[in-house]
Chain A
Amino acid sequence: MATQFYMEFEKPLAELEQKIQELSALSTDTMDLGAEIGKLEKRAEKMRESIFSSLTRWQTAQVARHINRPFTLDYLKLIFTDFIELHGDRNFGDDHAIVAGLANLDGEPVMVMGHQKGRDTKEKVFRNFGMPNPEGYRKALRLMEMAQRFKLPIITFVDTPGAFPGIGAEERGQAEAIARNLREMSRLTVPIIVVITGEGGSGGALAIAVGDRVLMLEFAVYAVISPEGCAAILWSDGTKGAQAAEALKLTAKDIRELEVIDEIVKEPLGGAHRDHQAMAATLHEALARNLKELRQLPAEELVEQRYEKFRKMSRFVE
């Protein structure tokens, strides 16, 4: 990647990596600094390992939101072939915060969809920062129902701060759009694999995340509310995000313990943003493996298992 965007907690690593770059630039035939550089590179790797093996929940949320983290369209390029994007909800418009369409996975057709964020300002605005309006969820549902008609498995990528809170969104039924997706996804007769790739932001994430298998990337987060939103309500202070992140237990490890996800997909050292290819390769393997298993289930069993899977999600005493 051309420029690295370092996160606050990566500062020592950033300094070290800069030093390595400087030395590499100085290194010539007459002055071989290879040994020195090698030493530093080892140190950097160790440092990276130690930083990323002990991230706080708040730091994990920073990784999940990293500007260079692979987005849905990146995975579409790296894992699938022949992607044909399909647009619009046939009611109101086309939402750019959700991309969807047909593609081949290992030569077999599938329906793929996911939230899409932007990297530069222009694209961020175009993608509405990955926050869908109702028509985005309705487009997703339209194509999921189409997948069912043609017996295509569905793969969804989840990466959103949340459904967009705006006047138009409310007027066009944001709540209804999400609710309908939850209801309909629970009955679809084709396999659904969900991957939480970055931010799993509340109902806006869940609206495309009712699946037979829910995978989550190692440094992705998934919660009922953003840490900042939670802090604003419970601490009356939106800057207490770090505290709220701890309380919300939003990491893949936390959520695996609550049995809400099925599998944690390991990220390359330093996070998915460091190596898109490696991340995509790991995810490709996980998708292919899960899909193979799901394809063996008869439709009826698939639907019943999906119901039971979500049915069990609760903790209470009586």
Chain B
Amino acid sequence: MAWFKKDKTPLAQQEAKKVKVPEGLWTKCSNCSEVIITKEIEKNLNVCPKCNQHFRVSARQRFDLLLDAGSFVEHDQDMVSVDFLQFKDSKSYQERINASVAKGGSKDAIICGAGRIEGTPVQIAIFDFSFMGGSMGSVVGEKITRAIERALDSHTPVVIVSASGGARMQESILSLMQMAKTSAALAKLREKGLPYISVLTDPTTGGVTASFAMLGDVNIAEPKALIGFAGPRVIEQTIRQKLPEGFQRAEYLLDHGMVDIIVERKDMRETLSKILKMLYRP
């Protein structure tokens, strides 16, 4: 047998693997393998100081990163999902909801509210990927739609920061309908001439990409974020070919005309602020 072994995980997946920043003192970067003091990474907005790899951050952290201090007012925080289909695989949907809620972050996969970005008022929705993979069911769809409708009522722009595996299977057809519902609300916003900026972070796929996430007046991606409709594994299995280098990464989407700009996390607030100030007429 050869002394080297072929890594059997598909190429696309190898790259998609993300480091879970553990409680430990040191963290090994999933991209450059550099061992770095965890605190250093945290201080650097969860971005590797050596190679600029953007690790995932919680929704709450993102609010701090993007909004003016003290400006955030949360909306619909008590809205929770119900297991109306009695969906059960290895666990019931209700058990999955309970487990995710117990983790403490949020009551579903999105947090919404009003706030200011360097003075500009916005309705903002940020995904919590740690809650069932940021999947969109009734609650996510409803909260986003309400955020857009609030923007219509208060004449403010909308910012949505996506991180999602797509529509939530456990709510089957109603999850699918959230795509139509949110996109229809955005149609109204567009008619009113109010700006909508979509920020796509790692990963944004499936029904979320195929609805509001791709519909920004401006689509902004974080560096190297995985963004696509079908997941890389599904595509590999369907076409039985290796996927091209960097496939479905933010840079690839930029090359193919699907996103407007790639913005590093540290510059996100400033960029959003500049664009909003140019597009928004209070």
Give residues in A with beta carbon < 8 Å to B: 163-167, 169-176, 178-180, 182-184, 186-187, 202-203, 206-207, 210, 222-225, 229-230, 233-235, 247-250, 254-255, 258, 260, 306-307, 310-311, 313-318
Q: Mark B195-239, 1 if CB is under 8 A from A, else 0.
A: 000000000001101111111000000000000111000110011
Output the least CB separation between B165 and chain A (Å): 9
| Residue of B whose beta carbon sits closest to that of A247 | B87
Among A186, A230, A255, find the residue whose CB has the most chain B CB atoms closer than 10 A: A186
Are A179 and B214 CB-contacts (below 8 A) given A165-B234, A186-B180, A311-B145?
A: yes
Q: What 8 A-B pairs come out closest when comparing CB atoms?
A: A165-B230, A186-B184, A314-B138, A182-B183, A175-B209, A234-B89, A175-B229, A313-B177
**Is the CB–CB distance between B241 and A314 below 8 Å?**
no
Among A175, A183, A187, A255, find the residue whose CB has the most chain B CB atoms closer than 10 A: A175
Known: A258-B173, A314-B141. 20 other contacts (CB 8 A): A167-B239, A167-B247, A170-B248, A175-B228, A178-B211, A179-B210, A182-B183, A183-B184, A183-B190, A187-B191, A223-B173, A225-B169, A229-B234, A230-B169, A247-B89, A247-B172, A311-B145, A313-B180, A314-B139, A315-B138
Q: Which residues of B contact A310 (CB under 8 A)?
A: 177, 180-181, 184
Is B175 located at the chain interface by the 8 A CB criterion? yes
Are A167 and B184 CB-contacts (below 8 A) given A179-B211, A317-B79?
A: no
**Is the CB–CB distance between A316 and B214 below 8 Å?**
no
Is B53 located at the chain interface by the 8 A CB criterion? no
Question: How many residues in B have their beta carbons less than 8 Å from beta carbons of A?
Answer: 63
Name A167's contact: one of B79, B167, B174, B244 (CB within 8 Å).
B244
Among B88, B168, B169, find the residue whose CB has the most chain A CB atoms closer than 10 A: B169
Are A166 and B172 CB-contacts (below 8 A) given A179-B214, A311-B184, A318-B79?
A: no
Are A210 and B180 CB-contacts (below 8 A) given A175-B228, A186-B187?
A: yes
Name A224's contact: one of B76, B176, B212 (CB within 8 Å).
B176
